[in-house]
Amino acid sequence: METPVQSPMDARVLDLVRQAVSADALEPVSAVDMPTAYVPREHLVAVCRTLRDHPELQFAFLVEITAADYHPAEPRFEVVYHLACLGEAFAQPGGAAPPRRLRLKVRVPDNELGELDLPWVHTLTELWIGANWLEREVFDLLGIAFTGHPDLRRILTPDDWTGHPLRKDYPVQVRKDSASWSPMELTVEEFAANVRSARAASSAAARPRED
């Protein structure tokens, strides 16, 4: 069996981030698909700002935010960020940086609760507006809060849902009535009436107008 080709962290990326933030700002780890590093939670925003703004880096595109639950291990959670530099497509005025990808991971303890009594990490919405819905999804499904988020609420489950479905200790048998005020399905009669109404409206629109 062939050994997978590793994707080491570029030494220049390491040097630039560590110079701008801290000597312990990035901890490279082995990965087969893209360069990957752990970031201490307290350095996340500064590291991402450097990656985005430094003229030699220009990681302007936040591709994805996801998370993993390693219960019962501690730290229990890891929040995972995928970044990309798109080269000429998002070049700064001084010129383009080479296109490349980067994965950042942040360890999030389950026993260090923030203001919402949940595990927490800092929001990146101040750097990438697209982080808004991505962070809401992680909050909704795994119960990790993002401090400083402008609108941290559920995005996939109903507002009155209890718990976070992608946690390892979430009950697999859940019964919950819909909170919706309208029927979830149409009756046969309602469906037929809608079809007749749509056909009538289409026929009326297609009929020649009389001046």
Per-residue pLDDT of the chain (211 residues; tens, 9 = 90+): 555 667 788 899 999 999 999 999 999 999 999 999 999 999 999 999 999 999 999 999 999 999 999 999 999 999 999 999 999 988 888 899 999 999 999 999 999 999 899 999 999 999 999 999 999 999 999 999 999 999 999 999 988 888 999 999 998 766 666 565 555 567 788 888 888 888 888 777 666 666 5
Contacts of 211 (CB under 8 A, 6+ apart): none
What letter would DSSP give residue 6?
P
Per DSSP, 99 falls in state: P
- How many angstroms separate the Cα of 62 from the Cα of each of 58, 59, 148? 11, 8, 18
Q: Contact 33/23 with Cβ under 8 angstroms?
A: no
Domain borders along the chain are 11-167
Distance, in Å, from the CA atom of 121 to the CA atom of 40, rounded to the nearest integer, reads: 10
Short-list 2, 41, 7, 49, CA closest to 24: 41
DSSP bridge pairs for 119: 113
pLDDT at 198: 83
The predicted structure's pLDDT at residue 71: 96
* Measured CA distances, 160 to 30, 71, 119 (Å): 41, 25, 20
Alpha-carbon torsion angle 99, 19, 92, 27, nearest 10 = 30
Whole-number pLDDT of residue 49: 98
User: What's the CATH fold of domain 11-167?
Assistant: Beta Polymerase; domain 2 (3.30.460)
2-38: b (≥16 Cβ within 10 Å) or e = eeeeebebeeebbebbeebbeeebbeeeebeeebbbb
Task: State the SS3 of 66-82.
Answer: EEEECCCCCCCEEEEEE
pLDDT at 201: 80
- pLDDT score, position 178: 58
Residue positions counted in the chain: 211
CA distance 205 to 108: 58
Residues facing 161 on adjacent strands? none
